Structure 1
Amino acid sequence: MIRRIATGGRLALTVAAVALAQPVAAQAVQPATLPAIIPTPVSMTLGTGSVTLGRSVVLVAAPGTDPATVALVRAILTEAGVQAVTSAQRVAKGGAQTRVVIGAADAAIVRDALAQSGATPDDRPEGYTIAVTAGGEGGGLITLAGRDADGLFHAAQTLRQVVRRPMVPALVIRDHPAMPIRGTIEGFYGAPWSMADRTSHLDFLASVKANTYVYSPKDDPYARDRWREAYPAATLTALGTLAQRARADHVDFVYAISPGPSICFSDPADAAALERKFDALRGIGIRSFYVALDDIEYTKWNCEADKAAFGASGAEAAGIAQSRLLNAVQADLTAKDPRARPLIMVPTEYYDAKDSPYKAALRKALDPRIVVQWTGTDVVPPAISIPDAKAATKAFGRKTLLWDNYPVNDYAQSAGRLLLAPYAKREAGLSDELTGILSNPMNQEAPSRVAVAGVLAFAWNDAGYDADLTWHAAARDLAGGDTRATAALLTFFDTQHLAPTFGSQPWQEQAPRLKAVLDGVRERLADGDADARRRAIADLAAQADALADASDIIRSGVVDPGFATQARPWLDALQLWGRALQLTAAGLGAADQGNAAAARYFADAKRLAAQAAAVQTIPGATRFGGAVKIADGVLDRFIADAPGLIAS
């Protein structure tokens, strides 16, 4: 049977259709290949043969398996083209029909299925095993075994990637996360995400096996300036709905409050206000909490009572006062919910690993159960090494939870930018010194997924993390698997590759792929060979076409619509810059032929470049707006220099 799938609005034959059209002998020699899975599993081994899902599959769920996960697996199989998924209580032997077994690794039916595949279960928290064994009549056995409910859910997310190919190779995957906490913190300044953005983001987090989302928008008045006040009923209901979605996505919804600008640490009324706030949120299903004490002054008290209780204001006194309050909050949380996760806090000194009186006070006085966040060696660190993390462990007296300020773009140096470079320059092995990583994303939720996918893949398996492969996978995911749209996204991502810091030097360079092409054009034009010049100009024209066409491809409806909406001004500017480069290529071609039209082409390119440079960010979308940056320092420089590269 020829099965067809929609690809970018067109119908394309699948590999399965091609395989069915070939002679049996030709099919028999087709090799199985290892699939690309993101995040990279801890262990993935190919077996012999492959399994075809076919029209119908038998699904066997072990007793006690979460019905939602069973439904998810059923939906994944249907999405992969299976027309009938029938349920059974036991695993039948042999036959042409593929059987899928799911459940806890210690369930008898799952143990037996793993044994048939010669596989053993992963025994780490959130761990899972997937075993695929080919059958003699074309069917096979696929087993998903979870160490726990979260592990089985993660197995389903991996299955989604495995069955994208119509011929599923025989293999065994044993997998578990390297870091216990993996996710994002909506902790930026400026316009918060909408509830729809947050819902989309939670679903995205589930797809990359994250387990934590921290609600901490700086511009939520009830979490910061008016933290003592109760939320309006409508907002509380919306947060409850969001927390429910997080549970369905196996993501821990953590509510963060920022009382630092006004709290009186020694006032029992303020401690009670914190507890009341958390009680109200516990009532809507939120069970994890966080107290943020960043971006505040500790050189002065907010009340005279603190001076009487802790002495003159200063770093050490602040550490003691904060510890006393947080310890009381932790005790209250545990008393009211013994299963609650530990309180998380972000300290006032969050941005380095140097010892200090403040850190010493936290180290000595803070309840050891409380999780401490740390942003690395700077607010926006250019790199993070194992020695850096070891120093933080020593300074805070516990392994820290990394708050990585990437790809957040709420500071002046990031004005006009989307930060879309791969997640890089974090050392493999950090999982031994961190309790986890939370990425602080951009105000633009969908574009944030490009870098966040890398953060979470690194947190899952830092030893096996590949930045470029994960970057490409993020583009494919946003493009819904469409090859042309994926290429257009990668072209666009490259123009947003620069990663700034609080200093003058970025920690990732701008537009490396485009720069390599443009540098190559310069070199071949300088070489003086006529054929080399013509080839260089042709290559430049092709690159210009890719830039000019990318925006329309991204907006064509295949790519996640949120991405196109939130990146609108950047896509507008990209198209103008692409057209300016097309005119530049035409100008160089004319100049190479001694054609007087070269000057007109260059003048038109300059005019379009000026229009592109004037495109502004969406007002109010980010804390610092301004002119949109597209491959700045690379593309603009080449267009400006081009008229002088060939005498006309």
Structure 2
Amino acid sequence: MTRFDARFKAGFLMATAMACAIGMVPSSAVARPDTPPVTMPALFPTPALVTLTPDTITLGKAVVLVAAPGTDPETVALVRRTLTAAGVDRIATAQRLPATLDRPHIVLGTSDTAVVRDALTRSNAVADTQAEGYTLASIATGTGSLVTLAGHDADGLFHAAQTLRQLTQRRQFPTLVIRDHPAMPIRGTIEGFYGKPWSMDDRAKHLDFLARVKANTYIYSPKDDPYARDRWREAYPAATLTALGTLVARAKQNHVTFVYAISPGPSVCFSDPADRQALMRKFDALRGIGVRSFYVALDDIEYTKWNCERDKAAFGPSGAAAAGVAQAQLLNAVQADLVARHDAASALIMVPTEYYDAKESPYKAALRRHLDPRVIVQWTGTDVVPPAISIPDAKAATKAFGRKTLLWDNYPVNDYASSAGRLLMAPYARREAGLSGELSGIVSNPMNQEVPSRVAVMGLNAFAWNDKDYDADRTWQAAARDLGDGDDRVTAALLTFFDTQHLAPTFGSQPWQEQAPRLKATLDAVRDGIASGDAAARDRAIVDLTRTADAITTAPDIIRAGVADPGFAAQARPWLTAMQMWGRALQLTAAGLAAANTGSGTAPRFFADARRLAAEAAAIPSIPGATRFDGPVKIADGVLDRFVADAPTLIAVSPSPAP
């Protein structure tokens, strides 16, 4: 620090102290040498705009809650739970703010209400004006403080409450102004996989999770629900309909739109009024339990032949173009019915038979010409499981379908052959920033395992909320922290596990995300250290390998004991078992290398035991019936197994002396 800097700082502190003494600024705003700096909080999804100010707020044991008239009870309940979790014991209520704040006050409501406008003015903040947007402003005022949650609408206010939940995880959180809104209007999950569907409990927990990550859409479309596909004309059993109704109510509480999808394609007769009425009856039954958003799936069907002779008479010989015309006619009728029963903003969602790539075709041309422009069309990208999606890809899809598409992202779904034995837990990546300008939204097709799916789904929703500021690796770590309930040790163990499940296959021969990049970097460094010819480097490499092996071995027990949702450990059970066994094999491998490094004749025994454990670990089966394709579970395959196999060749082993 220069002498000028020192004189300036001393003068600034003296002037500030004098200003406090005469009441010009609150004493809480004074910068003190022993006061830690105010830092930007980690928030996921990343807000659109955050302005940080140099002060902090501690809620303490008592706050006053001011909820504007008409505030959604679920949002008020969420704020109350958040305050209680932050250590607040007493929550008083009021209808307006006092002239002077002598304690923490929390104001929440939509920005058109008087009390919220007053709070925003006091906070020198302005309301966000976009759908699902919100402003969260916090200020410290002498002995009091004010936190304002101003939603542009009820959904935006609920999102603001989720941001408050994250802020209050710190004992002191900064004064700031957040103006935030989603980049994409549709964000969430489509339960659209083959194989064992999620349980109703899985779905309920997933809806709670979607709320936490500011998603707004859940599409019910399990391929193995017979009443939605093979027996779509038949009514649901009363018990199933009641259970679905409970989910619909849960979704509403979480500000998530429950979309019901039906898949009539394998047997529908497009021109038959009876089939059209059967479709409408099914939707009417779902309306009876509160569903207001609907979807018709026409994927994975044969569209070059008719299901009935009547369609041949109505649309001519079968073929791709005729199929497009027939599908459009049915979908247009459903769209018109939605508008008539609900409102003009109602939009049917559909997935076409040609749901991947954006190449021009007779089918796409027919849909483009005949399909009601209000119908939302889904598209899976450049392939069924695309390795990447770019802005030009999305522009091509817009041109092909005549509207911005809703991306059905087949990640992390694991219902296809090349994903057998895998959990797909790499970061959500290789989707280009700026796609929000070319898509109407993104939904993830998750795994049969609901809780492990949250790792990728959190990334997808963070990208859909703010694609331009999305950081794949930081969000991946945040997903681990969320599953680890904020515990550093559990978070680290989960990241170690995620790395062993990093490979993301495609329908081709090459994966779009590599396997175990962190572990591979470590093992490559071990190889290099041993190969260097330097004794100290060799010793360090073996120590590093032992440390890594210990981390892999202990991670499963740490996860089982500490993961926030026990469903994770249950659904990942064989993978955790196999991981622990592979970790022990790597510990034995490290012991073998250490023995070889000192010339000990025990090295072959260590290596043999490692090979035996590795073989046992590689044979552990996945949970029978849990996924469409069963098979032995994969743990860092191509990385861990290769190193265990190669290790005996890295250091020449002295032959054991003859007995």
Question: Is the partner of 1:213 in helix, strand or coil?
Answer: strand
Offset from partner CA, 1:128-174 (integer Å, 9 cap, x none): 0000111222x311000000000000000010001100111011100
Q: Is the 8 A contact 2:484 2:562 kept in 1?
A: no
Deviation for aligned residue 1:25 = 9.4
2:43 counterpart of 1:62: no
Structure 1 equivalent of residue 136 of structure 2:
130
Structure 1 counterpart SS, 2:561: coil
2:46 aligned residue = 40
Counterpart amino acid of 1:123? T
Point out where structure 1 has 5 or more consecutive residues left out of the alignment: 1-23
Correspondent of 1:425 among 426, 430, 438: 430
Residue of structure 1 aligned with 2:458, choices 446, 453, 456: 453
For residues 595 and 319 of structure 1, the distance between their equivalents in structure 2, rounded to whole angstroms, comes to 73
Report % sequence identity: 75
Q: Look up the match of 1:100.
A: 106
In the TM superposition, what whole-angstrom CA distance separates every residue of 1:292-346 from its partner, at most 9, and x where no partner exists?
A: 0000011100000000110110000000000001001111111112266300000
Matches within 5 A, 1:520-539: 520-539=525-544
**2:295 paired with 1:290:** yes
Matches within 5 A, 1:384-395: 384-395=389-400
Q: Paired residue for 2:16?
A: none
What displacement does 1:116 show? Answer: 1.2
The Cα offsets for residues 211-265 of structure 1, whole Å up to 9 and x where unpaired, read as: 0000000000000000000000000100111000000000000000000000000
Using the alignment, how far apart are the partners of 1:210 and 1:25 within structure 2? 39
Q: Which of 104, 120, 126 lines up with 2:126 in the alignment?
A: 120
Q: Secondary structure at the match of 1:30?
A: coil
Q: Does 1:87 align with 2:93?
A: yes
Are residue 619 (structure 1) and residue 643 (structure 2) matched? no
Q: CA deviation at 1:48?
A: 2.3
Distance 2:101 2:376 in 1: 52
Q: In the alignment, what sits opposite 2:8?
A: none
C-alpha contact (below 8 Å) 1:53/1:82 kept by paired residues: yes
Give, in whole Å, the separation in 1 of the partners of 2:239 and 2:74. Answer: 28
Distance 1:438 1:423 in 2: 12
- Counterpart secondary structure, 1:538: helix
Shift of 1:609: 0.3
- Cα shift at 1:92: 2.2
Distance 1:515 1:144 in 2: 45
| Deviation of the 1:427 alpha carbon | 0.2
1:382 aligned onto 2:387: yes
Q: TM-score, normalised by structure 2?
A: 0.94
Paired AA for residue 469 in structure 1:
R
Identify the residue that residue 246 of structure 2 maps to in structure 1: 241
**Structure number with bigger Rg:** 2
Q: What's the Cα RMSD here?
A: 1.1
Q: Which residue of 1 aligns with 2:9?
A: none
Given that 2:563 and 2:569 are in contact with CA atoms closer than 8 Å, whether structure 1 keeps it comes out as no
Amino acid at match of 2:391: I
Matched, 1:198 2:203: yes
**Counterpart in 2 of 1:14?**
none
Decide whether the 8 Å contact of 1:380 with 1:501 is kept in 2.
yes
2:472 aligned to 463, 467, 475, which one? 467
Q: 3-state DSSP class of the match of 2:406? A: strand
Q: Which residue of 2 aligns with 1:77?
A: 83
1:189 is matched with which residue? Answer: 194
Aligned residue number for residue 420 of structure 2? 415
Alignment of 1:462-541 (within 5 A): 462-541=467-546
Partner amino acid, structure 1, of 2:286: L
8 A contact 1:288–1:340 mirrored in 2: no
Give TM-score scaled by structure 1 length: 0.95
- Whichever residue aligns with residue 454 of structure 1, its letter is G
Q: In structure 1, how many angstroms separate the alpha carbons of the residues matched to 2:583 and 2:232? A: 48
- CA shift, 1:559, in A, is 3.4
Task: Say if 2:539 is the partner of 1:545.
Answer: no
**Shift in Å at residue 111 of structure 1?**
1.1
Cα distance in 2 for residues equivalent to 1:27 and 1:412? 61
Shift of 1:433: 0.5
In 2: Cα distance, 1:35 partner to 1:473 partner: 12
Provide the rounded CA distance (Å) in 2 between the counterparts of 1:286 and 1:453: 25
- Distance in 1 (CA, whole Å) between partners of 2:579 and 2:100 is 56
Q: Deviations over 1:537-563 (max 9, x none)?
A: 000000000000000001114431000
Distance 1:341 1:470 in 2: 33
Mapped to 1, the partners of 2:466 and 2:132 lie a distance apart of: 13
Code of the residue aligned with 1:385 in structure 2: it is: S
Q: Secondary structure at the match of 2:260?
A: strand
Q: Sort the Cα spacing of 1:27 and 1:93 in 2 relative to 1 into closer, same or farther, 3 A.
A: farther
SS at match of 2:626: coil
**1:48 and 1:134 in contact (8 A); partners too:** no
Q: Distance in 2 between matches of 1:339 and 1:480?
A: 43
Equivalent-residue separation in structure 2 for 1:369 and 1:153 (angstroms) = 27
Q: Given that residues 493 and 551 in structure 2 are in contact (C-alpha distance below 8 angstroms), is that contact kept between their aligned partners in structure 1?
A: yes
The structure 2 residue matched to 1:50, chosen from 46, 56, 59, is 56
Match of 1:311 among 302, 312, 316: 316
Distance 1:93 1:647 in 2: 81
SS in 2 for 1:490: helix
Post-superposition CA distance 1:93-136 (Å, at most 9, x none): 44441111111111111111111111111000000000011122
Distance 2:526 2:99 in 1: 63
Match of 1:210 in 2: 215
Aligned partners of 2:93 and 2:407: how far apart in 1? 44
**1:6 maps to what in 2?**
none
Please state whether the residue corresponding to 1:555 is helix, strand or coil: helix
**Unmatched tracts of structure 2, length 5 or more:** 1-29, 654-659
Deviant stretches of 4+, over 6 Å: 24-27
Q: Which residue of 2 aligns with 1:5?
A: none
